[in-house]
Amino acid sequence: MLTYATRRTILAIPTLLFISFVIFMLLQLAPGDPMAQVPLTVPPDVKQKMREALGLGAPPLVQYWKWLVQVFWIEPQVLIDWIFGTSLAEGKLRVISWQTRSPVMDIILQRIPQTLWVVGVAYVVAILIALPIGVYSAYRQYSVFDQAGTFVTMIGFSIPPFFTGPLLIVIFSVISLETWWLPVLPSIYDTTHVVNDWQSFGFQVKQMTMPVMVLAFQITAQLSRYMRASMLDNLGQDYVRTARAKGLSEAVVVNVHVLRNSMIPVITVIALGIPAIFGGAIITETVFKVNGIGQLLLTALFANDLPMVMTLTFIFAVLIVVFNLIADILYGLLDPRIRYD
């Protein structure tokens, strides 16, 4: 197991380097010019100097190398400085955003809490809803509950978030104003809101409700399918019959014996979904105006802010590779039948 984990970790490094190289070279083809917003009165030779000041004069490979150094050498130093109060990165150039002229990592750190709150809470809510639904619909296969569950899951798969989002806004922010029985929820997420007492906490819950509902609906649909399929696989096994035959109660058989074994693939699926939490739900964040990571990527793309796009996409790729690795190792650890070596 350890050798497998080590081998996979070592293999992940060239993969990530290759991905970063591919993304960088893709961005080199970008037609956009960071000087497009500079007034026309600025003479062309000055503009050229400004471009060179951004590091655009150097050949692509040199630029790529400098980006690598900044991300893998200077940014960790900044992190160490921040934790221990040292001054390792003093005066060294960090990855700078072309939009704001401030370090990319600082902006990302400002945006991450919003994304984590909304998308992370949605993920937890979805897990809490999906697992019982999956277990019960497998236990009563083809019952009314199972059929209804299948139908709702199908809908969850099929309705895209850019429709459920506006739909919820129409119901809870427009129609609810005229009726007394629907709660009125804010359609725009206020990021500057500070939670310091019960009332502000209540408002935070209210403004998180709709984006969390949209995201949780989708995630629930997928997870409950996996849970159901995995439970169905295990319910037919011989050890279940043995457990029943030795007189265990039905609750123990299902909730202890079958559930524990069925959770193995589901846990890996949950681990595989975690990068999406950090990656942010670009569409949901756009619909509810949450200024998280996804929205940051979108605005950076439209503004031709290549260092920001490059760093964000690379962070997403790192998360995906790392959590793939974690999922594979978890699978091996949880299921003793699986041997990688």
Tokens of 285: 């964040």
DSSP string for residues in 315-326: HHHHHHHHHHHH
Q: Rg for the chain (alpha carbons), in Å?
A: 25
Name the packing angle between helices 293-302 and 259-279 (round to 10°). Answer: 40
Distance CA(134)–CA(170), nearest Å, equals 30
Q: Do residues 244 and 253 touch, judged by C-beta distance below 8 A?
A: yes
Query: Given the rule CB under 8 A, which of 133-141, 169-177, 241-249, 329-337 is the region that contacts other proteins?
Result: 169-177
Binding mask 297-336 for other proteins (x = CB under 8 A): xx--xx------x--xx--xx--xx--x------------
Interface with other proteins, residue 259, by CB under 8 A = no
Distance CA(278)–CA(29), nearest Å, equals 27
Q: Which is nearer to other proteins, 81 or 233 (CB)?
A: 233
Go through 326-337 and write b for each residue having 16 or more CB atoms within 10 A of its CB, e for each that does not: ebbbbbbeeeee
Pick from 166, 150, 169, 147: which is nearest to 158 by CA?
150
- Site size toward other proteins, by CB under 8 A: 41
Interface with other proteins, residue 174, by CB under 8 A = yes
What SS3 state is found at 37?
A: coil
Interface with other proteins, residue 141, by CB under 8 A = no
Q: Least distance to other proteins from the beta carbon of 224, Å?
A: 15
Query: Given the rule CB under 8 A, which of 93-101, 160-168, 256-264, 327-335 is the region that contacts other proteins?
Result: 160-168
- The whole-angstrom distance between residue 42's C-alpha and the CA centroid of its chain comes to 41
Binding mask 29-68 for other proteins (x = CB under 8 A): xxxx------------------------------------
Interface with other proteins, residue 186, by CB under 8 A = no
Interface with other proteins, residue 74, by CB under 8 A = no
Tokens of 49: 């100097």
Site for other proteins, rule CB under 8 A: 15, 18-19, 23, 26-27, 29-32, 154-155, 157-160, 162-163, 166-167, 169-170, 174, 275, 279, 282-283, 286-287, 297-298, 301-302, 309, 312-313, 316-317, 320-321, 324
